[in-house]
Structure formats: C-alpha cells, structure tokens
C-alpha cells in the first residue's frame, strides 16, 4: 500500500492522529499527526526521542514495518479550528525536549488537538505503579521482607510522581 493509499484508506484529514502500536506485544501507543499534503507530498509529524520533527516519506515505510496503525484519533474540533491545530504542530517542530513521562508523543498529540500537553498513558502507568507498589510494600511488611517494602515504597513514589506531573499539566 502506498502512502497515498494509506491516507485515503483511513480518510485522514489534517490534524488527525494515527495511533500506532509496536508489532509483537507493543504496550505503549505511538502517535503521529497527519499535516496534510505539501506540494502533493503527504506530511506527518511526531515527537521522538530526538525531538519533534516531520517524518520523511521514506521513513514512513520503515515506521509501518515496526508499528501497526490501530486507530485514527480524529481532530475533535470543528473544521475551522484545524488550521490552529496544524499551527500548534508546526510550532513544536525542532523542539528537543522529549521526556517519556513529561513530554512524549501523546503529550504532543494532545497539544495539537486540545492545546494541552497531557498523556493518559503516563497517568495510567503511574496509577498502576502506585497501586502495585502499595501491594508489594504490604506483602513485604506482612512477610517481614525489607527489600519488598523498599521496592514497594519506591514504586509507589514513582507512580505518584508520574500522576502528579500529569495532573499539574491539566490545570
């Protein structure tokens, strides 16, 4: 399937996000924003560890070998707001502030769509770590295993910090 067929098949419009999942047990989603056609060439942008950048078309084929498109997250606003969303995407190109917890590809997608950098994945993982840490600490306390208590406290703290970072961005 060519990139143009891919875009037509998914009925992508500028500012829509393609949600990709790593093949073979990918646990986290990767978000790529479709910018539209520029000189008849499709453009996509994403936040990577090396920063926010437009993905060259030759890289899209490689990307689709590693990831499976699982869903399209349509731009939620009215048509006339797509231009503002695309401008938000372009405003971040070249930014090199990637952080798995505080500024990942989902933060970028939500910034483009809503103007707010947030990640439900970080929030969910943080809550999971916090609950798992409490359980581990309780089991450690019950069995008098100080290593389990220590790891439980550390995981709980890490999880609560991740949730706090996400919640501070939503306000």
Q: Which residues pair with 62 in a beta bridge?
A: none
Q: What percent of the chain clears pLDDT 70, i.e. is strictly above it?
A: 95
Query: In the sheet where 41-48 sits, what is the strand order?
Result: 51-55, 41-48, 29-38, 17-22, 67-73
Q: Dmax over Cα atoms in the chain, in whole Å?
A: 67
pTM: 0.80
CA pair distance 163, 43, nearest whole angstrom: 33
pLDDT higher than threshold 90 for residue 24: no
| DSSP single-letter state for residue 118 | -
Provide mean pLDDT across the span 43-69.
87
CA distances from 135 to 22, 125, 131, 164 (A): 30, 15, 6, 20
Distance from C-alpha of 76 to C-alpha of 47, rounded to nearest angstrom: 20
Q: What pLDDT, in 10s, does the model give residues 125-151?
A: 789 889 999 999 999 999 999 999 999
Predicted pLDDT at 88: 97
**Per-residue 3-state assignment (H helix, E strand, C coil) for 63-107:** HHHHEEEEEEECCCCCHHHHHHHHHHHHHHCCCCCCECCCECHHH
Rounded mean pLDDT of 20-31? 74
Reported as a pLDDT band with limits 50, 70 and 90, residue 83 is: very high
Alpha-carbon gap, residue 165 to 8, rounded angstroms: 38
* 90-124 tens-digit pLDDT: 999 999 988 888 889 999 999 999 999 888 877 78
Mean pLDDT, all residues of the chain: 88
């Amino acid at each position: 399937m060519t990139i143009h067929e891919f875009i037509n098949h998914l009925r992508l419009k500028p500012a829509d996000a393609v949600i990709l999942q790593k093949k073979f047990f990918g646990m986290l989603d990767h978000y790529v924003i479709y910018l539209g056609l520029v000189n008849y060439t499709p453009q996509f942008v994403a936040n990577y560890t090396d920063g926010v950048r437009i993905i060259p078309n030759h890289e899209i084929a490689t990307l689709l070998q590693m990831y499976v498109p699982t869903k399209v997250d349509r731009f939620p606003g009215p048509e006339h707001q797509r231009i503002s969303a695309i401008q938000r995407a372009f405003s971040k190109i070249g930014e090199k502030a990637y952080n798995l917890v505080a500024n990942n590809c989902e933060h970028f997608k939500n910034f483009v769509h809503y103007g707010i950098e947030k990640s439900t994945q970080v929030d969910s993982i943080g809550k999971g770590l916090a609950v798992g840490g409490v359980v581990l600490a309780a089991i450690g306390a019950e069995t008098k295993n100080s290593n389990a208590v220590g790891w439980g406290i550390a995981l709980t703290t890490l999880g609560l910090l991740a949730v706090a970072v996400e919640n501070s961005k939503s306000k």
